Structure 1
Amino acid sequence: MAGKRNLASGVRRATFTAVALATCLIAATGAGAAFASETSVRSAPAETKPKLASVVDQAVAAGVPGSIVRVDTGKGKPLTISRQALWSVNDHKLAADDRFRMASNTKTVTATLVLQMVAERRLGLDESVEKWLPGVIPNGENLTLRMLLNHTSGLFDYAWDPQSLAVMTGQSDVYPAPLELIAVATSHPVHFAPGEGYSYSNTGYIALGLILEKVSGRSLPSLIQQRIVKPLGLKDTYMPANTSTEKQDSQLAHGYEPDAAHLAPLIEHLGVEVPEGFGFVGPARGKRVDVTAINPNWNWAAGSMVSTAKDWATFDRALLSGRLLPQAQLNQMRTTVDDGSGTSRYGLGLEEVHSSCGTVWGHEGSLPGYRSYNYTDKVGKRTVSVLNTTHFGLQADPKAGAAEAALVDAAICTMLGKPIPARSSG
């Protein structure tokens, strides 16, 4: 299921073993690479400035349409870099402070709200789903909130249903509501009995969003505003209204995906049955499509939040330093299960990721046109964000995927104050 999850679930496990593949990129990233750049490297260690910028350059030259990198070592001002392919500049000039669709990073916010309610004794991690959503999920009496949070529920991921794939690509204008997503998911068999395995599922987080609204009496966007955005002073972070229409944010980075012809080999490789010509809807950009106008807000509590690298660093720092949760709930959040990747483990809406330079905590997310990695150290002192303006393009092109893996690893190493591996810096 790993390949299928990469395609449709809105999240991809960090695969740092793929960094070794980046060595094949060096010859392809020399003089002549066409991209626009913006770099602010004010207080990072001098030796890391050109090295990390070089790795970002390599990623764009290898096929990543655009990349924003922000590294805060906890000392002085952060290092920020943005790069984009020249062909994309007329759509939108990418900047380090652009807003970005954070996709499954949203799960960390949803989980934080659940754990705040647990701390207030309004919810219990081992309470049944049936208690809060009676009759909504089959076998809900044997499913707990904890299982939804750490993906051990066994629930089918709605994103894998053909109806969801059609909405995801813009081929369908049918806009599913949260209860409809759950109905789609529960029309499929479960992967395993509750608590008997691990399978990443957006479905569980849709259920958690409904539970949060029920227990609080507020809409999820307003709950996020009240408990996360306002207390932390986040200026560019919001959950869009869960509607079929959306006024496009002028400060939103543009996202791109392969056109139908170049997407087809990836779909075929993963064994997904789709109609002929299946692809993303949007303005053509050579072999790519600008997918920015595709509305992803139906992913709601599982993956619809918009933010910036700076704002998300503020959130991660507050979370892991204990500002948003009591220690008991933070410890629960960092209690992990094996996710089968070999490079990470999953807690309660929080990933424990093992890079070549050390362990970090956070999440990653993927939507059409958007791939984001946001991490911090265990105490919330250092932060790093890598935001790339494609997801499926990295799956379809091994060179671009390897270059991205090298970039994420290099950025984490920079955050941790360790040398960038030679294979990443070229």
Structure 2
Amino acid sequence: MRSRLLRTVTASALTVSLAVAAAFPAAAAATPSAAWSGTEARRAQLQQLARKLVDAGAPGVIVRVDDGRGRPVEIAEQATWTRRDHLLKVGDEFRMGSNTKTMMATLVLQLVAEGKLALTDPVERWLPGKVPNGKAITLRMLLNHTSGLFDYTEDAAVRPSILGKDRRRWTPAELLAVGVKHDPLSAPGTEWSYSNTGYAAIGAVLERVTGRSLADLVRDRIARPLGLNHTYFATDSTWRGPHAHGYELDAAHMPPSVPAEFRHFAGARRNGHVDVSGNAPGWGGAAGAVVSTTQDWARFSTALTSGKLLPAAQLAQMRTTVPVDPRQPDGPGYGLGIQTGPTPCGTFWGHDGGMPGYLTTSVTDRTGSRTATVLISTEFWSEFGGAPKIAKAAQALQSAVICTMFGKPVPAAAHAG
């Protein structure tokens, strides 16, 4: 089994849906309490779960939930020892990790609507000679992870950047070259396999077709039109506004399950942790380099799923999914830069993202009228395991957040978490 750290731009595409499903044994039997109808009561429930997650070892947690019926619930909780670095606020910027893929897919589909690209285009057309068997790999396959390409984050050349020791500015072409020097994992279009290399190729195609950088495309086609003042494609470690600090355990405190080559992060030492928020995220590229806030991302999610950013035909293409697990054709699915999954409280659309110091889950309903985001300011626990208390508390919070977004009672299992 491949380690999730070796796909570190993303938390697994199954994370949200499986975590929610696992946390729901009592959901069907849960009944609304007398206080359920009040926003403050819902906020108190979620704040308690966020606090439990911090008590379990998470340095910080941000939650924003909008059920479309009134004022959003916004929560920020942090460990006492982190206050010397910053006071965590709901509006802080943070690294979105693989949520970036949703924006990249949006950019591609905008160009499809303009007649400048087609989902059936072979990658060879736009990147001649850059991708082996490129005539058989379409843009659609790159976007929905059926290209079969090896994941560049598994290559040792990228590891120093992941750990914050190499601050080079990776280009999409460079990241793509790292991935394609390995043999493919499967024939194009035959099976689903998460590949950040596919999105490195997408980034290179976007730059080739438009003649512009990914940072400019995100700014001019998405951030500025929507008024997203704290959303941008990061090429270095610079933050543009107040930001959440992200932490990972230092080498002495990491669980034994973490291999030696992944135990040493660059950054200032804090209370058995390393502050990794000054490390450059550029190695994430088109697969994971976007920075945003909970408010900005909610606005983006609403605009996208309500049809403001894409015509109906392209939005339908984005939502055309393939099963993440072929044994569960009606289970979690992956579309074009977006994932979906059923839960007892409703079917979500969205993505998740993992980058050292930042683990995010961002979801919405099909109409975009309901949105939710959870940030946990540490990510390594989700890669090699070894932090069962954090995992249990995170699962409980994510489950409760999704139910709150759908206007449903928080399941009894989440309260028990």
Q: TM-score, normalised by structure 2?
A: 0.90
Please name the residue that 2:10 is paired with: 10
1:339 is the counterpart of 2:306: no
Displacement of 1:249 in angstroms is 4.2
Please name the residue that 2:27 is paired with: none
- Counterpart-to-counterpart distance in 1, 2:269 and 2:191: 42
Which range moved further: 408-417 or 246-255? 246-255
1:287 is the counterpart of 2:275: no
- Counterpart-to-counterpart distance in 1, 2:169 and 2:107: 26
Please name the residue that 1:352 is paired with: 340
1:410 is the counterpart of 2:395: no
Cα distance change of structure 1 residues 44 and 234 upon mapping to structure 2, 3 Å threshold: farther
Please name the residue that 2:309 is paired with: 324
Matched AA of 1:299: G
- Counterpart-to-counterpart distance in 1, 2:363 and 2:22: 23
Size of the aligned set, in residue pairs, is 398
Displacement of 1:73 in angstroms is 1.0
Displacement of 1:207 in angstroms is 1.0
Please name the residue that 2:247 is paired with: 256
1:398 is the counterpart of 2:388: yes
- Counterpart-to-counterpart distance in 2, 1:360 and 1:53: 22
- Counterpart-to-counterpart distance in 1, 2:297 and 2:115: 27
Please name the residue that 2:32 is paired with: none
Question: Could you tell me whether the CA contact under 8 Å between 1:8 and 1:165 is conserved in 2?
Answer: no
- Counterpart-to-counterpart distance in 2, 1:281 and 1:72: 36
Please name the residue that 2:369 is paired with: 381
Displacement of 1:45 in angstroms is 3.4
Please name the residue that 1:366 is paired with: 354
For structure 1, the 5+ residue unaligned runs are: 24-42, 269-273
Displacement of 1:11 in angstroms is 2.7
- 1:142 is paired with a residue whose SS is coil
Cα distance change of structure 1 residues 375 and 16 upon mapping to structure 2, 3 Å threshold: closer
Please name the residue that 2:258 is paired with: 267
Question: Could you tell me whether the CA contact under 8 Å between 1:372 and 1:388 is conserved in 2?
Answer: yes
Please name the residue that 1:26 is paired with: none
Spell out the pairing of 1:109-258 with structure 2 (5 A cutoff): 109-240=103-234, 242=235, 245-249=236-240, 251-258=242-249
Please name the residue that 2:84 is paired with: 90
Spell out the pairing of 1:298-317 with structure 2 (5 A cutoff): 298-317=283-302
Matched AA of 2:406: L
CA RMSD of the aligned region, Å?
A: 2.1
- Counterpart-to-counterpart distance in 2, 1:152 and 1:204: 9
- Counterpart-to-counterpart distance in 1, 2:16 and 2:107: 28
- Counterpart-to-counterpart distance in 1, 2:376 and 2:357: 8
Question: Could you tell me whether the CA contact under 8 Å between 1:18 and 1:402 is conserved in 2?
Answer: no
- Counterpart-to-counterpart distance in 2, 1:20 and 1:357: 10
Cα distance change of structure 1 residues 384 and 18 upon mapping to structure 2, 3 Å threshold: closer
Query: 403, 411, 416: which is aligned to 1:421?
Result: 411
Cα distance change of structure 1 residues 69 and 44 upon mapping to structure 2, 3 Å threshold: farther
Displacement of 1:6 in angstroms is 6.8
Which range moved further: 230-239 or 130-139? 230-239
- Counterpart-to-counterpart distance in 2, 1:17 and 1:141: 35
Q: TM-score, normalised by structure 1?
A: 0.88
- Counterpart-to-counterpart distance in 1, 2:257 and 2:10: 16
Please name the residue that 2:45 is paired with: 51
Question: Could you tell me whether the CA contact under 8 Å between 1:69 and 1:96 is conserved in 2?
Answer: yes
Displacement of 1:214 in angstroms is 1.4
Please name the residue that 1:31 is paired with: none
Question: Could you tell me whether the CA contact under 8 Å between 2:111 and 2:117 is conserved in 1?
Answer: yes
Question: Could you tell me whether the CA contact under 8 Å between 1:256 and 1:290 is conserved in 2?
Answer: yes
Displacement of 1:287 in angstroms is 2.3
Identity of aligned residues (%): 47
Displacement of 1:44 in angstroms is 5.4
- 1:267 is paired with a residue whose SS is coil
Displacement of 1:354 in angstroms is 2.5
Cα distance change of structure 1 residues 224 and 123 upon mapping to structure 2, 3 Å threshold: same
Question: Could you tell me whether the CA contact under 8 Å between 2:162 and 2:283 is conserved in 1?
Answer: no
Displacement of 1:293 in angstroms is 1.2
Displacement of 1:175 in angstroms is 4.5
Question: Could you tell me whether the CA contact under 8 Å between 1:356 and 1:409 is conserved in 2?
Answer: no
Deviations, residues 344-392 of structure 1 (Å, cap 9, x unaligned): 2110000103234221101110000001111110011100010110100
Deviations, residues 66-108 of structure 1 (Å, cap 9, x unaligned): 0100011112221100000001111111000000111111100
Question: Could you tell me whether the CA contact under 8 Å between 1:4 and 1:160 is conserved in 2?
Answer: no
- 1:289 is paired with a residue whose SS is strand
- Counterpart-to-counterpart distance in 2, 1:85 and 1:16: 27
- Counterpart-to-counterpart distance in 1, 2:7 and 2:143: 21
Please name the residue that 2:28 is paired with: none
Question: Could you tell me whether the CA contact under 8 Å between 2:245 and 2:276 is conserved in 1?
Answer: yes
For structure 2, the 5+ residue unaligned runs are: 25-36
Cα distance change of structure 1 residues 325 and 296 upon mapping to structure 2, 3 Å threshold: same
- Counterpart-to-counterpart distance in 2, 1:278 and 1:5: 11
Matched AA of 2:136: N
Matched AA of 2:272: K
Question: Could you tell me whether the CA contact under 8 Å between 2:23 and 2:414 is conserved in 1?
Answer: yes
